[in-house]
Structure formats: C-alpha cells, structure tokens
Chains A and B, each alone.
Chain A
Amino acid sequence: MEWLKELMHQLKPADQDAPAFWQRYSAALKEQLPKDTPLAEAEFVVFDTETTGLDQRQDKVLSIGAIKVRGLQVLVSDTFECLVQQEGAAATKSAEVHGLLSKQLEQGIPEGEAVEGFVEFIGNAILVGQHVAFDIAMVNQMLQRQGIRGKLRNRSVDTAHLAIRLERRHADSHTLKTAEYSLDALCDRYNLPTDDRHTASGDAFATALLLLKLLSLAKKRGVATVGELIK
C-alpha cells in the first residue's frame, strides 16, 4: 500500500500557501532513493524527542536531538539539537526524568523555529529512532500547530522493531519481553557506550550507534538494501 500513498501524495498539488521550508521539504521527498539502494549509500537521520508525557495529542516536545548516519558512519559534524519553549511544561513529571528545568526551557527556541529547523535538517533521509512512530507523531503534532497541512512522509526504521526482527527471526509475540528491547537494554546487550542518556541528543547518539550495530547484523541476515530494511 505504501506505493499507492506515495503516488497519491505526489499527484496532489503542492500547498502554495505553505511556508518555504515545507515546500522545500515536499520537493525533496519527491526524490527518494530507489529501494535497491545499498544500505552503505543510504542517508539516515537518527533522532529522539523529549516530551512532557506520552500522550501524542496532549503532551508537548521539550527538546529534539538528531544526528546523521551516512556511508555507515555516524557523522558527528551533522547534528541537530534544540530546546523548545513550552509554557507550563516544567510542571510535568517528565521534566524530572529529562532533567530539563523550566529555566532551561525558557532558553529554548519557539516551537515554530524548532520544527522548521528539524524538517530542514532531515530532508528526505530515512528517519530512525527507538519507537520512532511516537517521535514522528510528536513532530507532526508540532507541524499541525504551526498550521501546516501535511505530515512527515520520510521512510522510517524503528530500532526496537529492527532488533526484534533481526534477533528473533521467527518472532513469537507471546514470549517477547518489551523490556529487553528498551534502548538501555539494547545498548547493554550490544555493548555500546551509554553515557549521557536521557537527553534527546544523548539518546539520539546512542541510537545511532545501535543503528550501526543493527545494520551490520542486518547485512549478515541478507538485508542489503533500503527496500529490504524498511519493509
């Protein structure tokens, strides 16, 4: 069905009233890499958001951290990081987890600026994250509040799902323990450094290293192209 969705989008006329960054984004998305592109040539953006809670409609994004992976290398030079100004955000429980104090958040940038920067950063790269659907939904919610009619349409890879898929070739949902596929558990299992967790950037960096590991594992399982990875 994905091909049909994509086709429909491409046929739809571009939103003439949309801001320039969104028009650039829409144009970029028209040129996706072919599905038989080898993984070594694909561009990924690994990202994570810190939010006031887990409700996709009510809660808000407090910070975004993102880093690019290209040629199977994590590019420390290509990173995106921002704190987002959110009113009343400090009162939430999540703030304690992330250690983001209201004072810090006041130093953040307006939501519109944050989402614009992020969208410019990702372009048509494959989005990667731990439970990436949630983070994409949160970004979409930000877009919506900025009055943009449209959502992120990048290809995406959920590192937790990918790990399950690669480790358990005949997945049995009954015996699956989700706790074993948390970012902490995965980093631990794959012996990856996990300093500075629980900031958006720290998690994005850890997830990027996890992605490298999983891509290497994928190669061994015969997953060699973008198409095979995102299916």
Chain B
Amino acid sequence: MKPSNVIQERVHEFLNTYPPFNLIDPEKLRALARQVRVLYLEPEQVLFAQGDTAHEHFYVVRQGSVRLEQATEGGNPKLLDVCDEGDVFGVRALIAKKNYSSTATSAEESLVYAIPIVAFEPILTENPQVALYFAAGFAAGQPVRNPTLRDAQRARVGLSTIAPTSIPLHLEDALKIDTAKNLVACPPDTSIRLAAQMMSDKDSSFMMVVDSGQRPLGILTDTDLRRQVVAGHVAIDDPVEVIMSAPVITTVPNPPMADALIHMIRHKVKHLCVTTDGTVNSRALGVLTEHDLLLAQGNNPAVLISEIRQTRDIASLPGIRDRAEELLLKYLEQEVSISFIANIITEINDAIIVRALQHAEKELGEPPVRYCWLSLGSEGREEQLLRTDQDNALVFEDKNAALEKEHQAYFLKLGAIVRDILLQCGFEKCPADMMASNPKWCQPLHTWKQYFYNWIHEPTEEALMHTSIFYDYRPVYGDLSLSRQLTDYIYENIQQERIFLPFLAKHALQSPPPLSFFRNFIVERGGEHKDQFDIKLRAMTPLVDAARVLTLDNRIAGENNTFKRFEKLAELEPQNAELYREAAMAYEIMMRFRALNGLRNKNSGRYLNPNQLNKLERQTLRSTFKPISDIQELLQVRFQLNYLG
C-alpha cells in the first residue's frame, strides 16, 4: 500500500484524537483516513433529513457544529443533540442500515469528515472495542433500541483504561487461598493446652474446632487464648469448646475479595472459615484470615476500621480518615465497583461516628435516656464517597416529659462534640445546620413524629424539602428500636395521606436533566447553554428523589440506598425493570464522576467543568441523562402530575 502523504497524515492525526478512532490499529486508521472526504456546510445547511435514505458515509465533525433534530407531532422539532469537534453522527447508516431517524443541520459554518461505511465495516466487525463504542450508543443521536447503559459503562471502563499505569488490584477477582496447609483443626473435647501447643507448633493464629464430619463448630484464636486463659477465666485443661467463638463466620471457597472483606467488617472478625458450600453445615476446608487479605491488598479498609475502633487518641482519627481517601482514589482508578466502594466508605464513616459518640459519652457521662444517632442524606443512603457536609440528627426516648429539656441539653452537648470531631476529620458543618447539635434536630421521639406528621399531611415546598432530607435517615448508633418506631409511624401516615406521594413525585421533577455537552457548555433542553454542570442537583438528586418516591409507592421499607432501591423496584415492576437498572447504573456512573471530580479539584466534586472532561467522559455522562428523563416521564404518568396544580 502507498504510504500516506501529508494531507492524509493530517486527517489521520485528527481522527486519532477521538474515540472510537483512537481504538483502531494505526495502520488500519491510516488506510481509513486516506478514504475520508471533507465537506463544507454553510450555516443551517441540511446534511441529511429525517427519513432520507442512508448515505454511504457516516460523519465526524472536524470544525463547527451540527444539530440533530427529530420531528414531533406538535410540529416543533425536538433537539436530540448538538455535535461538536470530534463527535460522530449519522451512524444509523452504519449500524442499522435504515433511513435517517433525525435531521442533521449545521448550526454554524462547519467542516465535516465523511467516512465511507464500506471501509469502516471490517473494522467494526473485527475490533470489539470499536463495536462496543457503537453498541454503547456513544455516537451522537444514535437510536439505541434498548438504551444500553451497561454497555456504556463497560465501554467506558474498557476504553478509559487504554493506558493503564499500575497493575490492577483485582479486588473483585476470586481470592485464592491454599486450603491444604492452612487448616488447623481439632475436635471440641481437645484440651486448651493441647490446642495451644498445636497452634504454636504450626505457627497458626487460630484453631478451628470441628465435629466428626469436619464441619466447623467454632474457632479459637490467639486473642481468645490470651484474653481467657492468661486472665485466668478458664483452666488450661478445660476443653476448647468452653472458650471457642461460635458460630463461625463462613464463606464459599475462593470468594471475591470484596465479599470476604465486607464479611469481616460486618461481623467484626479476623477469620473466615472456608467450607465446601459456604455454610457451617459442610466440611471446613481452610481459613481465610485478615492477614491473607492484607497481604493481597496493602492498605486495607478493615485495618483502617479496626484502627478507628481501637484508637485511644481521638486526635488520630483525621489521619486515619485521610488514608481512607487515598484508598478511595485507588479504588476509583482501578474501577472497583461503586457499590463496593460506597460500602467500604460508609463503614469507615460509621466507625468514626461511633468512635466520636463513644468518646463524647465518656466525656459527658452516661446518657440520661436511650437515644439513637441518625445519619441523613447521602450518608444515610450509604452512598457518600467524598467527605461532604455533615447531615445528622438525634432522637431520644420519650420518658419523662418534665425532664425533656434537661435530656435535650445533654444530647446537644453530645451532638456538638461529635460535630467538632467530624469537622476535624474533614466533614464540613452543614450550612443549613441540619445536625444533631441544632436543638431543632435533637428531639424526643414524639416531637420527631410530630415533624413527620406535619410534613406528610401538609406537603408545602419546605415540608417536601425536609422530607427528602430527613426521610433517608439511617440509624448508626444507639438504640435502633427508636429509629424503627419512627419508621413505622411514618409509613402508617404515608399510607393514610393520599396526596403526599403525588406531591413528593412532583418535587422530584423539579430539575430536569440537561441534554448534552457542547464544547465547554451544557446544552439545556431549551437549547440554551450553561458553563458549569451541577451534577448533584441536575443529575443525581432527580434519581435519588425518584427512587425514594417510587420505593414508597411500592411500600418498600428500610431500603435507603439509591441503587438498591432501583434494584428492588426492578424486581417488583418487571415491566420497568430495564429502566430501573439503567437508572441505577447511571447513578453509579455519576457517583464515580463526582468523586473523581472532587478528588481532582479537592472539593465536593459537585460542579463539573465540562472542559476538564475528555470526549469519552462527556459522552458517558450524556448517556446517563437519558434514563433520568425517562424516569421523570414515568413519575409524570404514574402520579398523573399533569393534573396536579
């Protein structure tokens, strides 16, 4: 083949800056570049019209911009997208081989590269990454039959790791442990002396206690030995079953590391027994220790959490929390699943809150009555990745009405101590003062019931705002039955008040998602431009709000987390399952974007600057806007909001 000349090389270089062309093998891309045609479009020139037979080319904007619009029954064309430099459009000819489903008009003077489909098709069939790019609907105005955000996510992950820097840490890979030499076990009637001898001989930190069928009955760890035997609580010749911990926390063989980790954190154990089927009713095969995970993983969240739990010095908490942030960055870079990351970060934050409360109780003396600490907002939903504002509240027991003021005074002091510790750990104070240190949000159960009663039965704008903040509460510490009582009360009232849910649904529609990105601007549905994107308000809150109201409508209680809510909804409404899964996926993608943006700019990550996003990131984000507007449409129809003033 002839070598490329200067002109062809120039075209090649341009294409090579943009996806999907940068995924094509250089020699093949050069050959493709040689076949490009350049078109000049004057302003408002129509390149193809809706219904036109597909051209033999698809297009890439070289300079200028092109609008894609679809005719509507109302007559006004609906803007689908605005393509700028590097955007690919008109791919219906390539993918579906059908007539154009939209009209492409240049919005200004533009130069457009036409890529011959005949030359591109072989690349599409033999290059899975390129195929994925189109399958994921990254090209502008692409009619995706089933909007496949999952593909988009896969594609984004696949495409963005083209230049991997570090060796990935396969958190989600199965964790292999050598079960043969690893199992140190004895029957329950073995003496503690013998067990200790065996552990020391095998240099093991544990002894598994098994029955005659090798099924795990309990576990004896070196810590147990130290605590019980050395302290003289038991005799050295007593059988091990006296001091073993039971039941044993078990796992399946080769569990995903993430699961193993969460198991350990949840149950506060350092050993997991591996059994044939993952339950205590099958043969023990080996033991997975925290140390195994540590070796496999370096900076370990379980270690961070146990440091938080064990530290005597409250001043060391900020340092530990900063290390959690490094962990977060590492996880994000390595594309660890968002739900796993959110889980870990929530556990870490909860541990800090609990530690702070324990510290405060020690300072102030025993609390006068039982209480429960509630996390609100994103922390309440277990989806806070970055340290944003504190949102919390406190509910205490209705006991003695006469002493209520006194009790409140104690809990306000408690709230203030916790607030200050959290502040030192990098959690800003809530600007709207929604914290347990505020008398308004530090109340006995009956007052909280009254609050919710008013909000539900008189859904004013302010009431709805409060509901959306306070409704997603999650008990973190204290007497969980107080939180349960409040939840039951709220459900009862919501069932009775028919007007509440439609109002809440209407509230969820307050900010429609934008349409697209254009250069350094956000394209709004109305066609105007904005230069910074409030990802929280414009994309995440609408999904959070929608998930909340739909969950309530389905009478699901006790699920706060947005993607878990969508998962649950998908089970309950199979007809909308696809949409709900899309929405959950969109939400995860946005959480990741926000966290990365926040780490990048050392702030809350809430405001995205479009010119800090690369083409692929913009296209990924754009693909998340669609499920938001679809969900909003669903709310509109379900709650008949057109009839609501």
Q: Residues of A contacting B33 with CB < 8 Å?
A: 76
User: With A73-B114, A76-B11, A193-B111 in contact, is A199–B38 under 8 Å at CB?
Assistant: no
A208 within 8 Å of B (CB atoms): yes
How many residues on B have C-beta within 8 angstroms of the other chain's C-beta atoms?
A: 20
CB <8 Å contact, A76 and B6: no
Could you list some 19 contacts between A and B, CB below 8 A? A73-B39, A74-B39, A76-B33, A76-B37, A77-B35, A79-B5, A79-B7, A79-B8, A81-B6, A192-B111, A193-B63, A193-B111, A196-B6, A199-B6, A208-B38, A209-B38, A212-B40, A213-B109, A216-B42
CB <8 Å contact, B63 and A65: no
Binary contact track A188-210/B, C-beta < 8 Å → 1, others 0: 00111101100101101100110
Instruction: List the A residue with the shortest CB-CB distance to B34.
Output: A77
A202 to B5, CA, bound (A): 10
A65 to B10, CA, bound (A): 14
Q: Residues of A contacting B39 with CB < 8 Å?
A: 72-74, 212
Q: Which 3 A-B pairs have the closest CB atoms?
A: A212-B40, A201-B6, A74-B38
User: With A202-B6, A209-B111 in contact, is A76–B40 under 8 Å at CB?
Assistant: no
Beyond known contacts A76-B34, A205-B10, A216-B42: 8 more, CB 8 A cutoff: A75-B37, A76-B7, A76-B8, A192-B63, A201-B6, A202-B10, A205-B7, A209-B38
Instruction: List the A residue with the shortest CB-CB distance to B42.
Output: A216
A81 to B114, CA, bound (A): 22
Q: Residues of A contacting B419 with CB < 8 Å?
A: none
A204 to B8, CA, bound (A): 12
- A25 → B minimal CB distance (Å): 22
Instruction: List the A residue with the shortest CB-CB distance to B12.
Output: A76
Instruction: List the B residue with the shortest CB-CB distance to A65.
Output: B6
**What is the interface of chain A, defined by CB distance below 8 A to chain B?**
65, 67, 72-77, 79, 81, 190-193, 195-196, 199, 201-202, 204-205, 208-209, 212-213, 215-216
Instruction: List the B residue with the shortest CB-CB distance to A193.
Output: B63
Q: Residues of B contacting A65 with CB < 8 Å?
A: 5-7
User: With A76-B35, A192-B111, A193-B62 in contact, is A209–B40 under 8 Å at CB?
Assistant: yes
B469 within 8 Å of A (CB atoms): no
CB <8 Å contact, A190 and B109: yes
Q: Residues of B contacting A190 with CB < 8 Å?
A: 109
Q: Residues of B contacting A77 with CB < 8 Å?
A: 34-37
A193 to B11, CA, bound (A): 12
CB <8 Å contact, B114 and A196: no
Instruction: List the A residue with the shortest CB-CB distance to B10.
Output: A196
Q: Residues of A contacting B40 with CB < 8 Å?
A: 72, 209, 212-213, 215-216
Give the one of B34, B38, B63 with max A CB within 10 A. B38
A190 to B63, CA, bound (A): 12
A50 to B28, CA, bound (A): 31
Q: Residues of A contacting B38 with CB < 8 Å?
A: 73-74, 76, 208-209, 212
Instruction: List the A residue with the shortest CB-CB distance to B113.
Output: A76
Binary contact track B410-441/A, C-beta < 8 Å → 1, others 0: 00000000000000000000000000000000
Binary contact track B251-288/A, C-beta < 8 Å → 1, others 0: 00000000000000000000000000000000000000
Q: Residues of B contacting A201 with CB < 8 Å?
A: 5-7
CB <8 Å contact, B109 and A81: no
- A215 → B minimal CB distance (Å): 8
A195 to B35, CA, bound (A): 20
CB <8 Å contact, B7 and A73: no
- A151 → B minimal CB distance (Å): 26
- B237 → A minimal CB distance (Å): 87
Binary contact track B41-68/A, C-beta < 8 Å → 1, others 0: 0100000000000000000001100000
CB <8 Å contact, B35 and A81: no
A81 to B131, CA, bound (A): 34
A190 to B108, CA, bound (A): 12
Q: Residues of B contacting A208 with CB < 8 Å?
A: 38
Q: Residues of B contacting A193 with CB < 8 Å?
A: 62-63, 111
A133 to B63, CA, bound (A): 30
